[in-house]
């Protein structure tokens, strides 16, 4: 209300100050929670503050103001300094029981189904009691960001409002705000994106594959015309760090014309990206897991493991939740090839299917340590739910909240052959010294209507 009054009186600077104060108080409250579920859930209290700040920043047009509010208003939990909780034996036991029950796929009205609901409530509530770090990183300023970007890098911050999409392009030499596209045109293209990706990933007979993949190519081209073409002059041939709005979660950036073959890292915010770049990646020990009923999972992890000396491989009956927890807590690079399942109702109960049941987002909090790089060769686990416009929650966010530096995953269905070839190429790139985003860019083949797409994204 105070911000609205200041704006009505024509005092824009004072209105920004009031909005800033409100969001800072919300951040301080968020940082008291150790639970990602709670951190993202309380964002609704600051939703209108964020919307007002973004609208004013877009109207202002100054790059430094645009950057500040794109940072303050998006992925608020990403600026909270994470704290690793100790393993909770009760939660571990409840996750094991939930795994066993879920593998039975009981009727929700049965005794087993009711017990599953009780376990989910208990696990969520136990996580809520975890203490946070009480530390929030201040949003990075424009000068600091430009100083940290390499000459071959550009950061693009997309901001969406009810009216349209704008973007800030930052390079070491300049920063420019670009009016990208009307919001209704973007929404029209995003509405059919996941169905098109899922259909194109199927092993379709020849007469059907061509039209389906041409439809996807047309949609990707239209999205590129909206989101990429207006920025090409400013970004040149640089590799990109993208901080997209929540509505753009899951866009397969590496498949868009204009970005194909280009290093693209998708970050929760510029601030969180810089924090993750503050030390070199650890890429010494690697672990590989093949879940059940995935056609080429064992071939995929065996071939990739052959590129790493002393790697650990779990396949068949060895790929249990307990074994994966042990391996994940002891390696720098973790590759999971398994069926994935995204839960929109309870995103942290999304997971990958192992021989004894699903390994959930909540299992990540039970790890003694977290790998620097996680590759998820599973459908949908890169998908996130968007809370209150900008806050993302799901398996990828759970890994990053726990401390993973990079997660490579897909928000849509992935063809087994495409996943095998692309992720094997990523490992070759990593072993050759490429950073994860560059390794993924080098591994993604040019779209072809004769082959299924590989909509993997590098989240950093």
> In sequence order, what DSSP letters do the residues of 148-212 get, joined into one string?
HS-TTEEEEEEEE-SSEEEEEEE-SS-EEEEEEEEHHHHHHHHTTHHHHHHHHTS---HHHHHHH
Rg (CA), the chain: 22
Which of the two residues, 206 and 366, has the higher pLDDT score? 366
Under the phi-then-psi rule, with left for phi > 0, alpha for psi from -120 to 50, and beta for the rest, what region is 216?
alpha
Find the domain containing 189 and state its range: 150-460
Name which of 9-23, 96-110, 116-130 the model is least confident about.
Answer: 9-23
pLDDT confidence band for 192 (50 / 70 / 90): very high
96 within domain boundaries: no
Q: How many domains does the chain have?
A: 1
Q: What percent of the chain has pLDDT over 90?
A: 52
Which of the two residues, 123 and 153, has the higher pLDDT score? 153
23 within domain boundaries: no
Query: What is this structure's pTM?
Result: 0.85
327 within domain boundaries: yes
140 within domain boundaries: no
Dihedral angle, C-alpha 316, 413, 159, 163, nearest 10 °: -150
- What is the Cα–Cα distance from 44 to 47, expressed in whole angstroms? 5
Across 435-439, average pLDDT? 98
**How much is the pLDDT for 43?**
59
Q: Give the start-end residues of each E strand in 310-436.
A: 312-314, 333-337, 340-341, 351-354, 357-360, 373-377, 384-387, 391-394, 406-410
Per-residue pLDDT of 101-119, as tens digits, reads 988 888 999 999 999 999 9
132 within domain boundaries: no
**How much is the pLDDT for 366?**
84
Residue 385 confidence (pLDDT) above 50: no
70 within domain boundaries: no
**How much is the pLDDT for 391?**
43
115 within domain boundaries: no
204-206-208 Cα angle (round to 5): 60
User: Is 333 in contact with 430 (CB distance < 8 Å)?
Assistant: yes
pLDDT confidence band for 443 (50 / 70 / 90): very high
334 within domain boundaries: yes
Across 401-430, average pLDDT? 92
């Amino acid at each position: 209300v105070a911000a609205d009054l200041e704006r009505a009186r024509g005092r824009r600077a004072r209105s920004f100050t009031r909005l800033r104060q409100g969001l800072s108080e919300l951040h301080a409250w968020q940082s008291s929670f150790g639970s990602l579920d709670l951190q993202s859930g309380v964002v609704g209290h600051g939703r209108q503050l964020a919307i007002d700040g973004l609208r004013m920043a877009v109207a202002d047009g100054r790059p430094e103001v645009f950057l500040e509010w794109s940072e303050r208003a998006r992925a608020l939990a990403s600026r909270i300094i994470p704290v690793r909780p100790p393993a909770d034996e009760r939660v571990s036991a409840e996750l094991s029981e939930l795994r066993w029950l879920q593998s039975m796929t009981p009727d929700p009205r049965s005794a087993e189904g009711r017990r599953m609901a009780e376990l989910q409530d208990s696990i969520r509530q136990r996580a809520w009691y975890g203490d946070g770090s009480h530390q929030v990183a201040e949003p990075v300023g424009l000068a600091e960001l430009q100083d940290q970007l390499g000459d071959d890098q550009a950061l693009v911050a997309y901001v969406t409002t009810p009216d349209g999409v704008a973007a800030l392009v930052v390079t070491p030499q300049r920063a420019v705000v670009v009016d990208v596209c009307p919001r209704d045109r973007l929404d029209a293209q995003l509405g059919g994106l996941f169905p098109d990706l899922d259909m194109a990933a199927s092993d379709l007979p020849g007469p059907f594959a061509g039209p389906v993949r041409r439809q996807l190519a047309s949609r990707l081209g239209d999205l590129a015309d909206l989101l990429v073409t207006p920025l090409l002059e400013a970004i040149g041939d640089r590799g990109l760090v993208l901080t997209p709005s929540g509505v753009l979660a899951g866009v397969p950036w590496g498949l868009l014309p204009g970005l194909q073959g280009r290093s693209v890292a998708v970050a929760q915010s510029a601030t969180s990206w810089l924090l993750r770049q503050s030390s070199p990646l650890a890429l010494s020990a690697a672990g590989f897991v093949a879940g059940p009923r995935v056609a080429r999972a064992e071939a995929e992890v065996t071939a990739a493991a052959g590129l790493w000396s002393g790697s650990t491989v779990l396949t068949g009956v060895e790929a249990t939740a307990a074994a994966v927890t042990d391996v994940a807590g002891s390696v720098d690079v973790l590759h999971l090839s398994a069926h994935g399942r995204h839960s929109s109702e309870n995103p942290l109960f999304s997971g990958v299917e192992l021989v004894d049941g699903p390994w959930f987002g909540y299992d990540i909090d039970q790890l003694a340590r977290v790998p620097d790089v996680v590759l998820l060769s599973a459908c949908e686990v890169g998908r996130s739910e968007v809370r209150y416009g900008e806050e993302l929650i799901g398996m990828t966010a759970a890994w990053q909240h726990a401390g993973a530096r990079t997660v490579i995953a897909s928000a849509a269905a992935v063809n087994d052959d495409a996943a095998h070839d692309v992720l094997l190429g990523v490992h070759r790139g990593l072993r050759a010294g490429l950073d994860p985003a560059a390794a993924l860019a080098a591994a993604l083949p040019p779209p072809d209507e004769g082959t299924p797409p590989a909509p993997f994204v590098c989240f950093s």
